[in-house]
């Protein structure tokens, strides 16, 4: 289970530039969605065989009224969830009231704090670092985000207490339920466990406020990862749905299958799509659940409308199965576990190379690739090179000739011929002789 590291500081100290340096590439960002003011941004960092989840936060400015209050809530929740905090300060300016306010917040957290003194671009400025010991934190590192200075030292300090990646020897199928607050995730887990009451054990998870419950279903071992609601109560916390995403992210990455729960009484909203995108970014198998089906007055009539709404709103995952059920009445609860098993089976499916090449050869004969500047894509060979999700590598004459529409066409042909419902798939193209 990856550790969580957050960047915090006042505005314009260079947090976002440091964030981009640490994640290496912008494509590593999981999601950057405009929120009430400025959402947290998430990214993955891999360094010296260690992985951690990195969170960028908005700048805290006490003089910015209500705008600051919303950012402060985001920062407080990021600090609450983080294992390590990087407190970013501006090495070219004196400490101000915002820095001292953040310092007090971090001291109360009891978390490990690394002070990153940014904008120290040349050796003459290094002496400025001693001014920042006034903050009372023992670990202070000088960096320059714009000149890429000091990041090895910063990363070495971050990963000092993060263990090496180790294999997970738990062979049970792990799934988590994710979704907006009050869609019935906890009720659904309770209904599942009551339905299949051969629970092995309740094990505290590595994520705070997470419980791993092991149980058996049809002689198979399962672990359901349940993330509890926000510890802090209050209208502000409860009304801003995005604030619970750190816990969902940590559950998603541990799961083999993500069950995205939607409320039939509320309908589909934009944030449901955002939640799905988190799971997709991590390559997870998916099942959609429309819960609270008991609140629908005419289920037979409503199901067609719902299927149309799902098709329109989730056009990017047409391969995912939708289950309609009620955790409260347990109606159709029996349909969920088979859907989870199917999604996992397909995510781990291995396809024979000969069958795969037959499908692609026929697809090319039926619809050959478009030409570009007198050149046409040639596919020499295709093989499956990974699972969870299934990954297919194409040997081609020039991968620069791949058009996204033709890539989609090839994906559709693969899905039509092989059972891959419930799982994303990856198509990778490489020039003949090129190493992956």
Is the pLDDT at 153 greater than 70? The verdict is yes
Is the pLDDT at 241 greater than 50? The verdict is no
Give residue 225's pLDDT band: very low, low, confident or very high (50, 70, 90). Answer: confident
What is the per-residue pLDDT for 179?
Answer: 86
What is the per-residue pLDDT for 288?
Answer: 98
Is the pLDDT at 303 greater than 50? The verdict is yes
Tokens standing for residue 308 = 């149309």
> For the chain, how long is the longest CA-to-CA vector?
75
Interval 357-363 mean pLDDT: 97
Element holding 189 (H helix, E strand): helix 185-195
Q: Which of 406, 416, 395, 399 is nearest to 364 (CA)?
A: 406
Instruction: Determine which of 184-193, 319-328, 396-405 has the lowest per-residue pLDDT on average.
Output: 184-193
Give residue 135's pLDDT band: very low, low, confident or very high (50, 70, 90). Answer: very high
Interval 131-142 mean pLDDT: 94
Mean pLDDT of the chain, nearest integer: 85
The answer to whether 320 and 286 have CB atoms below 8 angstroms apart is: yes
Tokens standing for residue 196 = 């299949």
Measured CA angle at 300 (ends 295, 306), to 5 deg? 70
Summarised one tens digit per residue, pLDDT across range 38-94 is 444 778 888 988 888 888 888 888 877 665 676 777 778 778 878 999 999 999 999
Is the pLDDT at 232 greater than 70? The verdict is no
The rounded distance, in Å, linking the Cα atoms of 208 and 1 is 12
Instruction: Determine which of 26-30, 209-213, 346-350 has the lowest per-residue pLDDT on average.
Output: 26-30
Summarised one tens digit per residue, pLDDT across range 71-87 is 777 778 778 878 999 99
Summarised one tens digit per residue, pLDDT across range 15-41 is 988 998 998 854 333 333 333 234 447
Structural domains of the chain ordered from first start: 3-159 (3.40.50.300), 173-347 (3.40.50.300), 353-431 (3.30.300.20)
Is the pLDDT at 262 greater than 60? The verdict is yes
Measured CA angle at 102 (ends 100, 108), to 5 deg? 105
pTM of the model: 0.77
What is the per-residue pLDDT for 416?
Answer: 97
What is the per-residue pLDDT for 161?
Answer: 84
Interval 422-435 mean pLDDT: 91
């Amino acid at each position: 289970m990856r550790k969580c590291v957050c960047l915090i500081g006042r505005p314009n100290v260079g947090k976002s530039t440091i964030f981009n340096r640490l994640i290496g590439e912008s494509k590593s960002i999981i999601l950057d969605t405009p929120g009430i003011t400025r959402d947290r941004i998430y990214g993955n960092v891999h360094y010296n065989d260690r992985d951690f989840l990195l969170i960028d936060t908005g700048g805290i400015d006490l003089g910015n009224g209500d705008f600051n209050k919303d950012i402060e809530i985001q920062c407080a929740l990021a600090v609450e969830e983080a294992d390590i905090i990087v407190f970013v300060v501006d090495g070219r300016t004196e400490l101000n009231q915002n820095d001292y306010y953040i310092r007090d917040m971090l001291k109360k957290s009891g978390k490990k704090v690394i002070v990153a003194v940014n904008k120290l671009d040349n050796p003459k400025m290094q002496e400025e670092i001693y001014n920042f010991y006034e903050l009372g934190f023992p670990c202070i590192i000088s960096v320059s985000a714009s000149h890429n200075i000091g990041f090895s030292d910063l990363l070495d300090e971050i990963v000092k207490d993060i263990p090496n990646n180790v294999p997970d020897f738990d062979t049970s199928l792990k799934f988590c339920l994710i979704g907006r607050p009050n869609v019935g995730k906890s009720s659904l887990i309770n209904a599942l466990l009551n339905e299949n009451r051969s629970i092995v054990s309740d094990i505290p998870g590595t994520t705070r406020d997470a419980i791993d419950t092991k149980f058996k279903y049809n002689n198979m071992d399962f672990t359901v990862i349940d993330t509890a609601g926000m510890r802090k109560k209050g209208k502000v916390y409860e009304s801003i749905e995005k604030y619970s995403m750190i816990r969902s992210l940590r559950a998603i990455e541990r799961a083999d299958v993500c069950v995205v729960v939607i409320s039939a009484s509320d309908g589909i909203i934009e944030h449901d799509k955002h939640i799905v995108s988190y799971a997709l970014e991590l390559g997870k198998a998916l099942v959609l659940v429309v819960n609270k089906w008991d609140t629908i007055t005419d289920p037979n009539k409503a199901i067609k409308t719902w299927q149309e709404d799902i098709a329109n709103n989730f056009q990017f995952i047409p391969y995912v199965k939708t289950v309609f059920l009620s955790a409260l009445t347990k109606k159709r609860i029996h349909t969920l576990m088979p859907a989870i098993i199917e999604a996992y089976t397909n995510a781990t499916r291995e396809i024979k190379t000969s069958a795969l090449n037959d499908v692609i050869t026929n697809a090319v004969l039926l619809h050959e690739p478009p030409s570009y500047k007198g050149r046409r894509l040639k596919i020499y060979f295709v093989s499956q090179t990974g699972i969870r999700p299934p990954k297919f590598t194409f040997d081609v004459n020039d991968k620069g000739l791949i058009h996204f529409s033709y890539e989609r066409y090839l994906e559709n042909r693969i899905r039509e011929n092989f059972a891959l419902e419930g799982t994303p798939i990856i198509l990778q193209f490489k020039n003949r002789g090129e190493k992956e």
